[in-house]
A and B are shown apart, each in its own frame.
Chain A
Amino acid sequence: MRVTFTVNGRRQEADDVWEGESLLYVLRERMGLPGSKNACEQGECGSCTVRLDGVPVCACLVAAGQVQDREVVTVEGLADFAKERDTGAAGPGTDPGAAQRWQPRPAGPATELSPVQQAFVDAGAVQCGFCTPGLLVAADELLERNAQPTDADIREALSGNLCRCTGYEKILDAVRLAAARTGTEA
């Protein structure tokens, strides 16, 4: 089947999608967007968390057909998504051609990060980094609806995202840092 939906602000089409394929498979294997990770395929670990019409979901539990005509934001679009939210302007989105030709590129000063991404780097919240994309999407959504969360709020919001490396302390630090920085700027 063909599935047409919006990914990171761009209209995308996927052809020959098998009915059993998940949104996660389509993003990773057909759209060239491997940022969302597959670590359990059961909705337990949160590594594949994306926004679906604004709501954080596990992309592994969403059948590809369910996203027809809907909007998806992945970690690859997080910086643009946050920028658009902050400025009210439309972000450039991810070019589908570029996404298909995806290659890792060295990070340079040109890499623009959202506040929560920058805070994860600065606070040491990234070790192996496999849980990071899902946590970033979840944390960004938390800060969108609650700009000054308590520790209990952060723990509740991120309780669906497993991390095996950090013991979560630096992740809490990162979310607190992102909240503090955003609060300062406001």
Chain B
Amino acid sequence: MSTIVIPPGRCLRTLPRALRPSTAPFSTSTHRSLPAPAKKKTGTFAPPKRGERTLKLKKRDVVRETRPPAPGERKAVRKRIVLSNTNALEPAGLVDLTADMAGAEEVRGRVVGIPGEVVDALRVVEGFKVGQGWAFFRRPAALMRNEVVELAREMEGVEQARGADERAVGSGVRDLGGQTLRKLVYGERGTGKSVLLLQAMATAFLRGWVVISIPEARDLYLGQTEYAPLPNTSPVQYTQNEYTAKLLAQIAKANRPVLSKLKLTHAHNLPIKIKPGLTLDAFAELGVNDPEIAWPVFQALWTELTAPAAEADAEGKAVAVPRPQILLAIDNVAPILRPTQYKTLDADGKLRPIHPQDFVLVKHFLDYFRGARTLPQGGLVLAATSGNETVKSDALSVGIAMAEARVANPENKQLKLGDFWNLYKEMDMRSLEAVMDVEALKLEGLSKAEARAVIEYWAGNGMVRSRVEEGFVGEKWTLAGGGVVGELEKAVVRMRF
């Protein structure tokens, strides 16, 4: 019998690892000392191990505690317009604007409130803009600055001219010989261009005009509202049906007190049946419900507003139906004075931008703006530029420069384009024609007296911390770049030191 002698070390190595005797003493008693503190987790901050070439960091899980905002919710918050601050004080002695007051001398340089029903109408036509600071004050009110009072007087003038012409021309004549004012409001950022438009619209509502407003011409330019070619047009014209439907809704709702008293006088060739004797607001709403017919409805409405068929009076004579004056307001006009972002294939098979004046709705407004068409009963076409220059229009800049030159030197009637634009550079002539001979109204900073009036109004709302004194007003006037009203608000109301 032979025995294999295995050396003890080797013998042990053949045993499984678990059965090998460990060097540490084994004990079943509990530790008498506290356990060693847990090692700090340094894993995420440690440099990579040798041989590894990348640094791996664990990402911390983001725990979402609230529900994500629903689609459109954020935008709604962003676009929300707050017109009152219930914490603000009721300013003492604030009177409401009335139809007669707008052009009166006693309101010049005073802050007047906007009456409730006009506020509702202005809301509908999107006269109030985000970021205008209405939310700081008790209720909407605006300063009747010089330019506003003058504009209101011109609006009165339009009405009187029409009345005089009616008397002169006599009844039964369609062309009422009204006066169409065209104005381009421009000025640096924060000078109150949009608010001037709003005040003009407020005056128009109070005086019983029909207000049609494009609150943001960019919407017609960006290519974000749907468009369709208009059949049987050459060159091809386009309609923006959704937008037109929305516009009709605004017209109907905002001008209901006026339009509900007017009735259809023509028989229109429309794809739907229309009850005779329909009021104009109800007629406009037909286009709201069916965007396909929005453009024909708009055209028909426009005919009704500008050229009503004569009615027979009690003696059987044809009598002109009186129609209200019209205010056309376009804010941020620059985007529709340059090629749009809508694209079409041209004859060479290349994509080219569509010109804004190939859109019938835009062309409709610009025709009145440039004076190619006039309002028979008179009215006002107001366009305002934007201080924000993200969408620039060369044509508009040239138009403004020419208007300024005309103001500076009234004798020089014939201005040369070459003095304002390098003729060897490309220029959108269709757009330029729209603004070449427009009357421009420049808005600048407020005077110190006006600044004081508006700051006192803010103080009346409890929104000014200092006492309103000459030194305070002068200081803020300077810091606001010479009374630029938006900057003034920033310095006085928004800034908290």
Q: Do A and B form a real pair?
A: no
Interfacial residues, chain B to chain A (CB-CB below 8 A): none
